[in-house]
Amino acid sequence: MALNVADLVEHAADTVPDRVALICGDRRSTYAQLEERANRLAHHLQNRGIGKGSHVGLYGRNSVELVEAMLAVYKLRAVAINVNYRYTKNELQYLFTESDIVALVHEECYTSVVAEVEAPRLEHTVVIGGDYEAALAEASPERDFGPRSGDDIYILYTGGTTGMPKGVMWRHEDVWRTLGGGIDFVTGEWINDEWQQANAGKAYGLVRMCLPPLIHGAAQWAMLGALFSCGTAVLVPKFDPAEVWRVIEREKVNILSIVGDAMGRPLIEEFQRGQYDASSLGVINSSAALFSHTVKEQYHELLPHVTLLESIGASETGSTGIGAVSKEIGKTDGTRVTLNADTIVIDDDNQKIEPKPGVVGRLARGGNIPLGYYKDPEKTARMFVEVDGKRYTVPGDYARFEEDGTITLLGRGNTCVNTGGEKVFPEEVEAALKSHPDVFDALVIGVPDDTLGQRVGALVQPRPGAAPTLSELDEHVREVIAGYKVPRSLWLVDEISRTPSGKPDYQWAHRYVEEQDHAHQPV
């Protein structure tokens, strides 16, 4: 039984060849068309020496061609390397060199910057919008690549908000088991075989819309999960709230995947302003970033027929928990989920913590987990620990046990603010700030302080025409969080910088604060 990404998509293509597999902008592709074009590109790459274990960079925004390229690489048992399309020349230089790419499929608009980058092993490029169609036209459409394995390698480059990107290495079977539908996300039970997923989805053909870019792991697996289950995956070339609702209405989208408030807030506010039919929507799933109280309330009020889900995880763990958002939510409730069967909470000595209300610890996931970081045994050793004789991955997420047995995600330890010995998790403060009517978005960081070591600093994006003061925000957030968590410094900004996937850009925030005239900041 070969539990491999390419095999799983091919099973769906054989099951429902005439069904629409992929929609992006004005492009539509059936399973048969997606299969044929991916085969052609795979043969083109194969003829240039690409094969098992070769690293191929994929550099572009969401498109049908980018998905074809991803599948073509996996058909050859090669490894797709996701390239952040917002990277500068120096960042690309690092990634191309670090990841050992030997081929690159990229959008034509990035040709000039690619030409400036020295990649020591890069030997072949295919340009989407350039020679891409010619490459496909000259190659065979046949599926004749030989057997594959669940041991084939999948790599996801992650990071960039707090450091340089690092490649997380998975076996195909492991990442499918934790992110691609090879496991029941609620019960933790494995599905019987790789055909079960395709056959189960044959009758339903759900339409799933994935808003983040495919450089993001959650986006890749939302898209692949739709294909594995014979559904239709809908992508957007760029995030435009009004266009998203038009596409949902036109394509009768059933499941919408977003990333926290960065997408959730502008979407629901556009829905409130416009006239859109969202009757086809059954589920909205937010992952990888904060989904704040005020935004949850808006969704419950305006889309009462939709089930809101929050899921947590990381590139190093896959899914660690999922939960439905209750209508009875408190103002300080962050992401609150039920842990899956393979996830535990451990203390700083890597000992398992018993689930008692109020206890805080680090999330750790066992079972189907990554092999480690590509070419970095030191980081791998720090990321993986042994608890009671079992190997776990510990990405640094802190969580608190609640009385009902769920956990509340507090945030990453590496972004935690230590103020006078007290730990403050930015996500909790950001949620409190965004509950103020004049605040559209917020990002919280630690600012150096001679007395406290660090003080809580907030960068706030006001709503148009608003200019909340530090004293106004201070009074508001003290009603929902403890005094030591309240921001002592405030910067009003035109826009909060986030990564293309919607995650907060902490590097940008620290640079912004350092570049300001501190004498004029309210402290």
Which of 38-47, 67-76, 150-159, 329-338 has the least mean pLDDT?
329-338
DSSP character at residue 325: P
Which has the closest alpha carbon to 154: 131, 136, 180?
A: 180
DSSP collapsed to 3 states, 23-47: EECCEEEEHHHHHHHHHHHHHHHHH
DSSP character at residue 216: S
The distance of Cα 36 from the centroid of its chain, to the nearest Å, equals 28
> In the structure, what pLDDT confidence band is assigned to residue 3 with cuts at 50, 70 and 90?
confident
CB 262, CB 289: distance < 8 Å: yes
Burial label, 330 (beta-carbon count in 10 A; 0-12, 13-18, 19+): exposed
Please tell me which residue, 267 or 500, carries the higher pLDDT value.
267
pLDDT tens, residue by residue, 417-444: 888 777 788 888 998 899 899 999 999 9
pLDDT tens, residue by residue, 20-76: 999 999 999 999 999 999 999 999 999 999 999 999 999 999 999 999 999 999 999
Looking at the predicted structure, is the pLDDT value of residue 242 above 60? yes
Alpha helix (H) residue ranges in 290-396? 293-302, 377-383
Q: Do the strands 20-24 and 27-30 form a parallel or antiparallel pair, or are they unpaired?
A: antiparallel
**Domains of the chain from N-terminus onward:** 1-17+25-191 (3.40.50.12780), 239-413 (3.40.50.12780), 416-520 (3.30.300.30)
> Average pLDDT for residues 95-112, to the nearest whole number?
97
User: 């930015």: which residue's tokens?
Assistant: 426
First-to-last C-alpha distance (Å) of the chain:
62
Please tell me which residue, 411 or 347, carries the higher pLDDT value.
347
Which pLDDT score, from 0 to 100, does residue 159 have?
67
Looking at the predicted structure, is the pLDDT value of residue 193 above 50? yes
Which of 173-177, 216-220, 239-243, 317-321 has the least mean pLDDT?
317-321
**Count of all residues that appear for the chain in the document:** 523
> In the structure, what pLDDT confidence band is assigned to residue 517 with cuts at 50, 70 and 90?
low
Looking at the predicted structure, is the pLDDT value of residue 523 above 50? no
Amino acid at 328: E
Which pLDDT score, from 0 to 100, does residue 210 have?
95
pLDDT tens, residue by residue, 285-310: 988 666 777 888 999 999 999 999 98
Amino acid at 63: S
Please tell me which residue, 71 or 405, carries the higher pLDDT value.
71
Burial label, 388 (beta-carbon count in 10 A; 0-12, 13-18, 19+): exposed
pLDDT tens, residue by residue, 443-501: 999 988 877 888 999 999 999 999 998 889 999 999 888 888 999 999 999 999 987 77
Which pLDDT score, from 0 to 100, does residue 519 have?
32
Which pLDDT score, from 0 to 100, does residue 43 have?
98
Q: What is the mean pLDDT of the chain?
A: 90
Which pLDDT score, from 0 to 100, does residue 520 have?
38
> In the structure, what pLDDT confidence band is assigned to residue 2 with cuts at 50, 70 and 90?
low
> Average pLDDT for residues 186-201, to the nearest whole number?
77
> Average pLDDT for residues 238-243, to the nearest whole number?
95
